[in-house]
Amino acid sequence: MWIYDKKLQYPVKIKNPNPKLAQVIISQLGGPDGELAASMRYLHQRYAMPHDEIKGILTDVGTEELAHLEMVAAILHQLTRNLSEEQIKNSPFATYFVDHTTGLYPVAGSGLPFDMKYVGVKGDVITDLHEDLAAEQKARTTYDNILRLTDDPDVREPIKFLRQRELVHYQRFGDALRIAQDRMDSKNFYAYNPAFDKASGVFRKPK
């Protein structure tokens, strides 16, 4: 279960509203490689995993991604405060504003609403961990792109923190993959799927 701790993992204090910037940063809320996709991916993959270490890392990284979702929301909330009609009218944010005002609705920068199709849960140990390694790099790339689009230090600081966390998660998923492979037949990793098959399961030994 989850307990809520009423503080951000890393502070967000933005002096200057900027709806144009919010329009791209919102991809880390509801986009294909954002924090909502990440948390749903890891928290749902953990149920089929056979090893404690992997259940643990998916649970703990998945939980941390919820904290990151909250940080991205805080950034968006502070970028869209106290806006004048002029600021909204002349920015790409206007098409979001008409449907959501300054409420936070998970969409991608393109306006596409969040979609579970962004998330892979294949129920295979090797497959799911590879999905996770790729997901962390995609998130890192998205943060790189956000950093290319703003000079505001108030925004850059929490974004750099979030980017750094993706790199650490990537390392930990690499460790998890190594653990899984150490417990497989070194002559054939694909002999069976420890998330589903018993050792003598799908690939039955000849009688």
Partner 1 sequence: MRVINRNTSRENASRAGNCRMLQQRLQAVDFAIVETTLYLDVYPDCKKALEYHKRLLKERKMVAEALHGSCGPTTAWEEQNDGWEWVKGPWPWEPDAN
Residues at the site binding partner 1, with contacts judged by CB under 8 A: 3-14, 52-53, 56-57, 60-61, 64, 70, 73-74, 77-78, 168-169, 172, 175-176, 179
Backbone angles phi, psi at 143, to 5 degrees: -65, -40
CB of 205 to partner 1, least distance (A): 32
Give 4 or 198: the residue with its C-beta nearer to partner 1. 4
Give 19 or 32: the residue with its C-beta nearer to partner 1. 19
Three-state SS for 47?
helix
Amino acid found at 107: V
Q: Where are the beta strands (DSSP E) in the chain?
A: none
Give 32 or 68: the residue with its C-beta nearer to partner 1. 68
CB of 57 to partner 1, least distance (A): 4
Distance of CA 26 to the CA centre of its chain: 13
CB of 61 to partner 1, least distance (A): 7
Specify burial of residue 117 (Cβ count, 10 A radius: 0-12, 13-18, 19+).
exposed
Distance of CA 125 to the CA centre of its chain: 19
Backbone angles phi, psi at 11, to 5 degrees: -65, 150
- Spell out the residues 6+ positions from residue 20 whose beta carbon is closer than 8 angstroms to its own: 91, 92, 93
Amino acid found at 62: G
CB of 13 to partner 1, least distance (A): 4
CB of 56 to partner 1, least distance (A): 4
